[in-house]
């Protein structure tokens, strides 16, 4: 099963490699990993999406906790949480399709963040399903490339961690 | 007072009570070596290879319980430590390795003798550091010792760029270590301990498996108390040997691939397995799906990730083995003062004794050729078991584990997890530095000993009377054994073809060399060796090269599916088995 794991770590050099190395060294999957500072600049949060059966996920959390620079590990999958991802999609629609691309962008509450005579770059934020739906819809118009941030997630307030 | 980084390193080591460092110099660590030159409190043992230095620090740590320290230069000096660090990591041994590094400004430049040793050792250290500012140095060293020795112990590496050792700062020894991401849990959960006690009370066929964790946490007294009070037999893993007296009537020896028949049978037929400070390595469990099929499992370990990693666990207890065992005994004594343990265990212990008689650990004595097991038995006999025993890896290691009945913890130095050939001799050397008056023996193979044979020079230099018993079979014997049993006797590259004259090698280094070619010479050679107090000794035992380690569980089999090596022999031959 897929799990979204939130890992609070020391904001120190080398921590990302320790975490990534743990996954590669023990043969665990990383579907996505995103990392950024927190309100305390000495700490960072990593959101890791991974897959595995219960036993593997238990090992992943335990092994993460073993790292000295890891302060807290929360498997968000088990609790109510909000997750978001962003994608930048560069589409190159034909002249007659441009309006439709803009209309769909609007429906998805996206924004055009860059345009050239041939292309639009559209920014979409949402959960994974929404991102994937948008990409699917854009495919017929000709996607030149897209870049995804990977998931970030946070527990809903009032939920015990 | 302002001090140079190099001096801070030395001062910190003194604060940590370090008396000996094993090391090897080079360009970027010369600042530190300069301070060691006239230091009165710390002695550096100059090994002949950095791998030797790290294994020696490891042997020092295993035999004392205190952290071992190694100091090496950058680049090749640092990369030479990797096997030693990985060996210590797999067996949870507290060592601190200081490696020199090129100056901070040159890092990343492919500078002369630069290696990213922090990157290289990340997966085989408990933690590691690159010191970028001399102001962090004292704190980092303090943290390193704390991390290495607390919780589940392990190696820590500190990479020291040259400029950090020559920069100056105020020396402040931090009183406390505070690491918000690291809080080992020592106290076991009380409720779980109660559950464990209840399971013990209910069990008819209980068995304890003790691992290296019992030794790390100094829990031997508590283990003995639990076993004797409840009359539960004790199996020791390779790492746990010495945790419980090997000659005790409740001791069942080692489990797993080359374990005893009765240990494996006890596990397979048990209804309760009490695993303490062990991690269900595949060499112990054999085919995992058929491991201990009828048993409830209590697993006590300080490392939560060891629990449920390989086997299902019914009662997990995260905590320090000593404290948990103590708690367990207390609960048992409080709750059920009148439990008739002897009565409850009678049938089970009787069954185990039957297994012991069916297939005791044994070998065929021969009066014309030296049997390697005979050498180990004689070593045991002539030292009265009062020795620190190191081993190399291969058949020699297994025979040592089977036939040297250890009675004390911290007297067994063997590379269990990594299985590092070349470990034993330098580890024995490290133990001898810590215990100058003890008999320290390395039970070696002719292949393994050549992997760190250069340390003979170190032992001669520091007058370390390590006794090396080479079970010389002319082969990479364990490899040969597998080829004989599982590769249709195709001995691909396992014959060593040339083995040096170990007596001459020893003599060339200024050590004592002795040889035994006939069983009658074994005892005199060992006696002679034990007399030597001022230099190392090589004992070259020319042993039966055909000998194999039995019993054996083939890879992939369940642990009760054992081979005894008698399959091909006649009845008459079988009768000749020396049963001890
Ligand atoms: C560094 C290293 N390389 C290879 C091996 C694989 N290996 C395991 S046992 C063995 C043979 C050891 O030969 P020897 O030291 O003569 O011991 P024997 O089995 O003959 O007693 C080998 C090559 C190992 N364990 N360690
Ligand atoms: Mg050999």
pLDDT in tens, B268-320: 999 999 999 999 999 999 999 999 999 999 999 999 999 999 999 999 999 99
pLDDT in tens, A143-157: 999 999 999 999 999
Of B284, B267, B431, the closest CA to residue B351 belongs to: B267
pLDDT of B567: 64
Contact B327, B186 (CB under 8 A): no
Q: Using pLDDT thresholds of 50, 70 and 90, give the confidence band for residue B568.
A: low
Q: Measured from the CA of B473, which atom of ligand 1 is nearest? A: 20
Return the C-alpha torsion angle B569, B572, B573, B575, nearest 10.
120
Task: Tell me: pLDDT of B266 over 90.
Answer: yes
Task: Say which residues have a Cβ less than 8 Å from residue B184's Cβ, sequence separation at least 6.
Answer: B150, B151, B152, B302
**What interface predicted TM-score (ipTM) does this complex get?**
0.91
pLDDT in tens, B94-134: 999 999 999 999 999 999 999 999 999 999 999 999 999 99
CA distance B507 to B503: 6
Show residues of chain B in contact with A69, CB under 8 Å: 181
Q: What's the gap in Å between B410 CA and the centre of ligand 1? A: 24
By mean pLDDT, which of A84-93, B50-59, B224-233, B327-336 is the weakest? Answer: B327-336
Question: Long-range contacts made by residues A24-32, C-beta under 8 angstroms, separation at least 24?
Answer: A25/B123, A26/A59, A26/A63, A28/A52, A28/A56, A28/A59, A28/A60, A31/A2, A32/A85, A32/A148, A32/A150, A32/A151
Q: Is the pLDDT of residue A161 over 80?
A: no
SS3 B80: coil
- Kindly list the residues of chain B whose beta carbon comes within 8 Å of any beta carbon in chain A: 118-119, 122-123, 126-127, 130, 147, 179-182, 303-305, 308-309
**What's the mean per-residue pLDDT of chain B?**
96
CA angle B149, B152, B155 (to 5 degrees): 55
Mean pLDDT score across all residues of chain A: 95
Optimal mutation site among B101, B149, B151, B305, interface A, most CBs of chain A within 10 A: B305
pLDDT of residue B340: 82
Angstrom distance (rounded) from CA B334 to CA B349: 25
**Residue B249 structure tokens:** 């009537």
pLDDT of residue B342: 85
- Helix B137-149 crosses helix B5-15 at what angle (to 10 degrees)? 30
State the virtual CA torsion across B45, B46, B50, B52 in degrees, nearest 10.
-60
Point out which residues pair with B96 in neighbouring strands.
Answer: B69, B156
B84 close to ligand 1 (CB < 6 Angstrom): no
Q: Name the closest-CA residue to atom 9, ligand 1.
A: B394
Question: Is residue A12 predicted with pLDDT exceeding 80?
Answer: yes
DSSP class per residue in B335-366: HTTT--HHHHHHHHHHHHHHHHHHS-S-B---
Cα gap B145→B149, rounded to integer Å: 6
Question: Which residues are within 5 Å of ligand 2 (an ion), measured at CB?
Answer: B 445-447, 473, 475, 477
pLDDT of B341: 85
Whether residue A21 and residue B126 make contact (CB cut-off 8 A), yes or no, is no
Lowest pLDDT segment from B39-43, B320-324, B343-347 = B343-347
Are B139 and B174 within 8 A, CB to CB? yes
Q: Could you read off the pLDDT of B373-408 as tens digits, one per residue?
A: 999 999 999 999 999 999 999 999 999 999 999 999
Tokens encoding B323: 């404290």
Ligand nearest to the CA of B492: 1
The angle subtended at Cα B209 by Cα B203 and Cα B210, nearest 5°, is 135
Q: What is the mean pLDDT of residues B15-24?
A: 98
Can you tell me which atom of ligand 1 is nearest the CA of B393? Answer: 9
Is B417 close to ligand 1, i.e. is its CB under 6 Å away? Answer: no
| More reliable by pLDDT, B252 or B341 | B252
A84: pLDDT strictly greater than 50: yes
C-beta atoms of B126 and A71 within 8 A: no
Whether the per-residue pLDDT at B350 is higher than 50: the answer is yes
B453 phi, psi to nearest 5 deg:
-65, -20
Residue B1's pLDDT is what?
A: 82
Q: A56, A66, A67: which to substitute to probe chain B, counting the most B Cβ within 10 Å?
A: A66
Contact B181 A62 (CB under 8 A): no
Token code pair at residue B25: 């110099």
Whether B579 has a pLDDT exceeding 80, the answer reads no
Atom of ligand 1 nearest to the CA of B448: 15
Which-ligand-closest: CA of B449?
Answer: 1
* Cβ-proximal residues to B571 (8 Å cutoff; 6+ apart), any chain: none
Is 70 exceeded by the pLDDT of residue B155?
Answer: yes
Confidence of residue A158 (pLDDT cuts 50, 70, 90): confident
pLDDT of B39 > 80? The answer is yes
Secondary-structure breakdown of chain B: helix, strand, coil percentages, each rounded to the nearest 5? 40, 15, 40
**pLDDT at position B570 over 80:** no
What is the pLDDT, as a whole number, of residue A160? 55
DSSP one-letter string for B279-317: ---HHHHBSGGGSSTT-EEEEEES-GGGTTSSS--SEEE
């Amino acid at each position: 099963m897929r799990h979204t794991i939130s890992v609070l770590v020391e904001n120190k050099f080398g921590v990302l490699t320790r975490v990534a190395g743990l996954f590669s060294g023990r043969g665990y999957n990383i579907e996505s990993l995103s990392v950024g500072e927190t309100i305390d600049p000495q700490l960072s949060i990593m959101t890791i999406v991974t897959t595995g059966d219960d036993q593997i996920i238990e090992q992943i959390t335990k092994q993460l906790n073993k790292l000295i620079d890891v302060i807290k590990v929360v498997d968000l999958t088990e609790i109510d949480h909000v997750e978001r991802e962003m994608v930048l999609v560069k589409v190159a629609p034909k002249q007659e399709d441009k309006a439709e691309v803009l209309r769909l962008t609007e429906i998805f509450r996206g924004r055009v963040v860059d345009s050239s005579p041939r292309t639009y770059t559209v920014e979409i934020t949402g959960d994974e399903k929404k991102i994937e739906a948008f990409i699917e819809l854009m495919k017929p118009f000709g996607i030149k490339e897209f870049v995804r941030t990977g998931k970030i997630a946070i527990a809903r307030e009032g939920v015990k961690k | 007072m302002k001090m140079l980084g190099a001096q801070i390193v030395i001062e910190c080591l003194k604060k940590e009570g370090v008396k000996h460092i094993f090391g090897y110099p080079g360009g970027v660590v010369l600042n530190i070596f300069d301070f060691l030159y006239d230091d009165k409190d710390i002695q550096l043992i100059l090994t002949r290879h950095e791998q030797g230095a790290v294994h020696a620090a490891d042997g020092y740590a295993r035999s004392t319980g205190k952290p071992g320290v190694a100091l090496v230069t950058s680049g090749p000096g640092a990369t030479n430590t990797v096997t030693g660090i990985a060996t210590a990591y797999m067996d949870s041994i507290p060592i601190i390795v200081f490696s020199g590094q090129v100056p901070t400004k040159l890092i990343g430049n492919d500078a002369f003798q630069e290696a990213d040793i922090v990157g290289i050792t990340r997966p085989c250290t408990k933690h590691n550091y690159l010191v970028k500012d001399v102001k962090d140095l004292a704190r980092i060293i303090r943290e390193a010792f704390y991390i290495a020795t607390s919780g589940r112990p392990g190696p820590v590496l500190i990479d020291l760029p040259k400029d950090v050792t020559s920069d100056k700062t105020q020396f402040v020894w931090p009183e406390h270590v505070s690491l918000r991401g690291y809080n080992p849990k020592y106290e076991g959960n009380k409720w779980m301990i109660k559950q464990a006690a209840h399971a013990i009370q209910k069990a008819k066929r209980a068995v304890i498996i003790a691992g290296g964790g019992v030794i790390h946490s100094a829990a031997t007294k508590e283990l003995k108390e639990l076993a004797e009070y409840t009359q539960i037999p004790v199996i020791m893993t390779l790492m746990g040997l010495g945790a419980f007296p090997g000659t005790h009537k409740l001791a069942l020896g080692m489990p797993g691939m080359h374990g005893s028949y009765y240990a494996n049978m006890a596990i397979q037929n048990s209804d309760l397995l009490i695993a303490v400070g062990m991690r269900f390595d595949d060499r112990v469990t054999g085919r995992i799906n058929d491991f201990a099929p009828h048993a409830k499992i209590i697993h006590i370990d300080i490392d939560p990730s060891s629990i449920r990693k390989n086997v299902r666990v019914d009662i997990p207890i995260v905590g320090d083995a000593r404290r948990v065992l103590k708690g367990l005994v207390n609960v048992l004594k409080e709750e059920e003062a009148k439990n008739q343990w002897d009565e409850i265990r009678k049938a089970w212990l009787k069954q185990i004794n039957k297994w012991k008689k069916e297939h005791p650990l044994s070998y065929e004595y021969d009066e014309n050729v030296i049997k390697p097991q005979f050498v180990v038995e004689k070593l045991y006999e002539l030292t009265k078991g009062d020795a620190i025993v190191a081993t190399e890896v291969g058949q020699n290691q297994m025979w040592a584990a089977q036939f040297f009945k250890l009675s004390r913890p911290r007297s067994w130095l063997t590379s269990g997890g990594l299985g590092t050939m070349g470990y034993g001799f330098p580890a024995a050397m490290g133990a001898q530095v810590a215990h100058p008056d003890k008999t320290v023996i390395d039970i070696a193979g002719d292949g393994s000993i050549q992997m760190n044979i250069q340390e003979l020079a170190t032992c001669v230099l520091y007058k370390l009377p390590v006794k090396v018993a080479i079970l010389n079979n002319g082969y990479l014997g364990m490899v040969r054994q597998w080829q004989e049993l599982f590769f249709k006797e195709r001995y691909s590259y396992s014959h060593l073809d040339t083995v040096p004259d170990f007596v001459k090698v020893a003599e060339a280094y200024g050590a004592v060399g002795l040889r035994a070619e006939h069983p009658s010479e074994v005892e005199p050679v060992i006696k002679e060796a034990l007399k030597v107090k001022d230099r190392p000794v090589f004992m070259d035992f020319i042993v039966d090269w055909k000998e194999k380690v039995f019993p054996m569980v083939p890879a992939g089999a369940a642990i009760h599916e054992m081979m005894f090596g008698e399959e091909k022999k006649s009845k008459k031959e079988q009768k000749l088995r020396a049963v001890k």
